[in-house]
Structure 1
């Protein structure tokens, strides 16, 4: 089957599944958030220090918080049909504009962390599979278990203590030098310095997963008949590993990478809070504390969309790695 036909079939199947999935996510998230105590009016009144009953009623009426739940849901779905995510009572601006300000920082952090995790995880997993049962495999397995077991916030704090406080090599928080007017390559390098620690903190947990998964997948693929055939043809061990073993072992790794998009966004809440990184994770934390459920719904909707897009990309990668998958 031609490659374009496989890709078209994969995209069509993904789109048909995405629409009802997104609708179900929106409705479920809406009702779950209504179970939380309080609302934005309560928080705004608390921050002001005092508020009368009339003031509270006026705030709720202004933002539609006093309407029945089904009416609020209907208004929200109507706004979505008009490509609007609503208005934030706490920030006093459209949710779409608020998310647009924070989205680039989170996407950059997630992409860098995921690339680092996959690259280092695959390299370590390949070494573990090559020296399976020997000392290098055992040492790397211990480190993988440590990275998997230690919470990301603790790793983040220890990285700050070591690289920022003790050595002074890297900044402890933020996304760039305050007041800097750098442009071009110097500006890029300045932002890269601020991203090293947060991206490392977010990636280390997933490095352990990809390393163990790569090891298990490569050991399984090594026993397949086509690998023995490749060796019988006189191919070098490196050629067999790179062209046959590793390529087939990447299928479960790409599957897990697509599944980890949502989990990585959840982990970004902790990492962005520790490093004061201006992203969606920190915005979600602020929205929860401020009971700004409109902002939180927008973030959850966007997160779900990112997961669906990531899974669609994974399906396309699978169709490229193994044509038999795209032909189904």
Structure 2
């Protein structure tokens, strides 16, 4: 009965903390991007091969780049007040519509990668804690260190070489078979085949973090008095590990996973580029190259909102896992 008001207080606290964070993200991102060299007009001229001064002036006037910086910022705030992220000069379409086309693919990729990382990481960490000090523990530690140390783009390329080029089991890029017209289970299976390699590439780095975190947390919880009490009561070792040790060891994991869930867009840029996955990570990369800062600002704002939303969910999840957590 008392749980619901406590969760509401935690949610209200998180919302109040989110407001200044969003404002700071908007201001800092806008002015930092304006310090970057070049603009959309110069990107247009580079693609065309050349441009006169009159053409450059016309382009800057068309995109509003000739206005004073403060006036541009106020115009951006005006767009946000109308729930608009502005118009993309390079794609000639609203940024909201452009991001909306790419967002589902990115959410699918990041959600699958995070679920895979949590599943494999928790299982590996629990296994390592159960056999701590043995050769399987050391072997898994070396493998996890490899996942953590090797760059994501190299892992992606090696997966393509092994599973696409050598074995021919999985496609090397894209998000679905072009022109196949598949529906139902066939379309689902086809999409899964294209999803496996980029999701695995994105997940392996986080698997290493989660497995090591779960292992250390479980070993620390095992030394607590309430675990000794559970063992003294004669509870089976499996029950003690799963229902008592693992549940309490998941608290630090939820915090770390929450931070990663919001910041996965950075890692998704690599996976989406290597596998030509049509998500917002690849869109952000292309927008930076084309100096389309309106799109970049929209993606950065979306990333900040995603981090805040995930933090809210993490706060609620931790409060549910541990009833001792209260509003600070």
The TM-score range, normalised by the shorter chain, is: over 0.9
Structure 1, unmatched stretches of 5+, are none
Partner of 2:87: 87
| C-alpha contact 1:251 1:321 (8 A) present in aligned 2 | yes
Structure 1 residue 327 displacement after superposition: 5.4
Partners of 1:83 and 1:7 in 2: CA distance: 29
Partners of 1:167 and 1:262 in 2: CA distance: 34
Partners of 1:195 and 1:125 in 2: CA distance: 25
Partner of 1:57: 57
Partner of 1:210: 210
85-94 or 39-48: bigger deviation: 39-48
Structure 1 residue 261 displacement after superposition: 2.2
Partners of 2:173 and 2:54 in 1: CA distance: 42
Partners of 1:261 and 1:54 in 2: CA distance: 46
Q: Deviations over 1:231-271 (max 9, x none)?
A: 12221111111111000000000100011124321010011
Partner of 2:22: 22
| C-alpha contact 2:263 2:307 (8 A) present in aligned 1 | no
TM-score norm. by structure 1 comes to 0.98
56-65 or 260-269: bigger deviation: 260-269
Structure 1 residue 326 displacement after superposition: 3.5
| C-alpha contact 1:88 1:294 (8 A) present in aligned 2 | yes
What secondary structure does 2:47 align onto? helix
Structure 1 residue 2 displacement after superposition: 1.6
Structure 1 residue 81 displacement after superposition: 1.0
Structure 1 residue 145 displacement after superposition: 0.5
What is the count of residue pairs matched by the alignment?
A: 328
Partners of 1:6 and 1:234 in 2: CA distance: 34
| C-alpha contact 1:318 1:326 (8 A) present in aligned 2 | no
| C-alpha contact 1:221 1:248 (8 A) present in aligned 2 | yes
Map 1:175-324 → 2, pairs under 5 A? 175-324=175-324
Partner of 2:41: 41
Partner of 1:166: 166
Map 1:75-114 → 2, pairs under 5 A? 75-114=75-114
Partners of 1:18 and 1:211 in 2: CA distance: 30
Structure 1 residue 280 displacement after superposition: 0.5
Instruction: Please identify runs of 4+ aligned residues in structure 1 that moved more than 3 A.
Output: none
